[in-house]
Amino acid sequence: MENKEPTIVFATNNAHKIEEAREILRGKIKVKSLSDIGCHDDIPETAETLTGNALIKARWVKEKYGYDCFADDTGLMVEALGGAPGVYSARYAGDHCSPVDNIKLLLEKMEGEKNRKAKFVTVVALILGDNEYIFEGEVKGLISETHSGVNGFGYDPVFVPENSSLSFAEMTSEDKNAISHRGRAMRKLADFLTRN
């Protein structure tokens, strides 16, 4: 019998994100990556908001390739830094910088700062036919004074989620995904997709 499982494109080639989305949508909706649809474009992320960047990526795929799709964008917002690095989290220490450079700069800027409050925010933009939808997930926490742990990526070694004594980099991916910004946004997306 023909496989009637609906398909949606996740506008990313990040293998970890694709795997996470497939896990959440397993048995309900098939998730394809950008390379699965032959898209190798370097999609610009030039907006000044997370929502703007997520929409750029989702619209790019819809307009050029014709697929229903979703895209995500994430930022770390640090209260004492007025919400920085925010939408610029990936390149906080400059274009082509490494996660280690970003963490180093962040800890320098936070040196002596008593207010360590921060949050990760993920925005997911979904395009289904002619309609656009936005889902958000966030997790509050603190920026630690030194890094700890080796799991995860990005700012994980210096982010301690609320009600935890461990940094994200000290948690298993399962424990992190259960409370993370992206896990929360992706589960909202999954709930919506399975209802519509």
| Angle at CA of residue 60, ends 59 and 62, nearest 5° | 60
Q: Does 101 qualify as catalytic in the annotation? A: no
For ligand IMP, give the closer residue by CB, 83 or 99. 99
| Least distance (Å) between residue 162 CB and ligand IMP | 15
Restricting to residues 145-184, which ones interact with ligand IMP according to CB under 6 A? 152-156, 168, 180, 182
86 three-state secondary structure: strand
Q: How far apart are CA 97 and CA 91, in angstroms?
A: 6
| Least distance (Å) between residue 129 CB and ligand IMP | 25
Place of tokens 């298993």: 172
| Least distance (Å) between residue 14 CB and ligand IMP | 7
| Angle at CA of residue 58, ends 52 and 61, nearest 5° | 140
Q: How far apart are CA 155 and CA 180, in angstroms?
A: 13
Q: Total residues contacting ligand IMP (rule CB under 6 A)?
A: 15
Residue nearest to ligand IMP (CB): 154
For ligand IMP, give the closer residue by CB, 29 or 53. 53
Q: Which residues are catalytic?
A: 73
